[in-house]
Amino acid sequence: MNRSSSRPLAIEGDVAPGFREVREEFERNFRERGEQGAACALYHRGQKVVDLWGGERCFTQGLPWRKDTLALTFSVSKGMAAAAMAVAHSRGLFELDAPVAEYWPEFGQNGKRDITVRQMLAHQAGLIAVDQTLRPEHLADAAGLGEILARQRAAWTPGKRHGYHTLTLGWYQSELLRRVDPQGRRLGAFFEDEIARPLQAPYYIGLPRDIGEHQIAKTPGWHRTAVLWHLNDLPVGMVLAGIWPRSLVARSVKSIPLANPAHIGGPELRHLEIPSANGIGQARAIARIYGSLATGGRELGMKPATWRELVATPAVPTQGPHDAILKLDTRYTFGFSRPSSAMPFGKSPAAFGCPGAGGSFGMADPGEGLGYAYVTNKMGFRLFDDVREKAMREACYRCLSKLHQRRHAA
């Protein structure tokens, strides 16, 4: 549905020479593709070349999206959590092929003794659910949550298959990090200290309580039953499997009782750490972080060995790339999503990132030295390639292609 002509189109920000087409597509999102509030940013070879925002941060009150607006990004958070794990690995805090239980002994119970860190980060561990409903008090208690996580049994033989750890991956990452970090920090604090603050990138996993409501975009979301009217936008196998309450798909999203997925960033939960799903921040922060990683992570002190792991060809489970949760072919390394037949992105297989429910996306493309992010507070229904975000990403690459052509001609 087109944007109502009764409200003026307000787009702010800047684009560098050669990226005008990105701004034009951003404006078209609002005029033609139903966008209501969004931001987009692009870093190319260390330079910010796109920084746009527009529309409304609150639809009901008609409040404008501002330069400092922070928005819920859903599973884009997984990419920021993965960045924290990459930095921790580069600091020598863990080895990828070591058993998780080597650093977290209690993790080894119930048949998990041999699960490696690499398998856990690649969604291969089978730890897609917890055996109890998690309330805010559980999430606030790091030690207690660690005990709950350690008790879980794997849903499949680790390493044989993989499946999207919708909510749980970030908590496992955080508890592992808390065990190996000399300061005992959870993932949100580690991310803030070692990535967000050094790069001056406003993004939070666990929103500080001194950030006021006026700075936060409101994401209305939708009731979970609305999915039934948008089956063409989702993998049919995932939707059908999710109808059965004991299926892997259903169990993967039931750790926290949410009738509306947007409530994961609501007042009750936004200050708690759900590293796989409730990161809140700015598009330029996500693009800044991915831009640093895309160019080798030197600003973050990343060592070449970690960099090689980030861009290495993903190891496919022995039973193939079919995702036990998403019901399509996927690839993962280090906590990042990687390009696959079902989720193609970037110019090369070395790209890494993570889409978020509703239409947000962040990624690094090392071949281009590119960090990219699109953030919206109007939730769509696609897992990937939301029409608004895809239009922006494709415009970015068209601009880059023209720049390369001009340089070659010169």
Return per-residue pLDDT of the chain as tens, 410 residues.
344 444 567 899 999 999 999 999 999 999 999 999 999 999 999 999 999 999 999 999 999 999 999 999 999 999 999 999 999 999 999 999 999 999 999 999 999 999 999 999 999 999 999 999 999 999 999 999 999 999 999 999 999 999 999 999 999 999 999 999 999 999 999 999 999 999 999 999 999 999 999 999 999 987 777 776 666 777 778 877 787 888 999 899 889 988 899 999 999 999 999 999 999 999 999 999 999 999 999 999 999 999 999 999 999 999 999 999 999 999 999 999 999 999 999 998 999 999 999 999 999 999 999 999 999 999 998 989 999 999 999 999 999 999 989 888 87
* Residues 377, 394 contacting (CB under 8 angstroms): no
DSSP string, 181-204: STT---HHHHHIIIIITTTT--EE
Type and span of the H or E element at 374: strand 370-376
The whole-number pLDDT of residue 389 equals 98
CA distance 253 to 266: 17
Tokens (6 digits) for 271: 């200050």
| Domains of the chain with CATH codes | 69-375 (3.40.710.10)
The whole-number pLDDT of residue 228 equals 66
The whole-number pLDDT of residue 226 equals 73
CA distance 369 to 406: 18
The whole-number pLDDT of residue 230 equals 67
Q: Name, in order, each residue with C-beta under 8 angstroms of 198's C-beta and a sequence gap of 6 or more.
A: 299, 300
Type and span of the H or E element at 37: strand 37-44
Q: Name, in order, each residue with C-beta under 8 angstroms of 340's C-beta and a sequence gap of 6 or more.
A: 321, 329, 330, 331
Q: Which residues of 102-120 are buried (b: 16+ CB within 10 A; e: fewer)?
A: bbbeebbeeebeebbbbbb
* Residues 107, 150 contacting (CB under 8 angstroms): yes
Q: Name, in order, each residue with C-beta under 8 angstroms of 336's C-beta and a sequence gap of 6 or more.
A: 78, 79, 82, 310, 352, 353, 354
Tokens (6 digits) for 115: 């699960």
Q: What do you get for the CA distance between the two ends of the chain, in Å? A: 44
Strand order in the sheet with 280-281: 71-72, 280-281, 203-204
Angle between helices 76-90 and 168-180 (to 10 degrees): 20
58 forms bridges with which residues in the sheet?
Answer: 63
Farthest CA pair distance, the chain: 63
The whole-number pLDDT of residue 231 equals 67
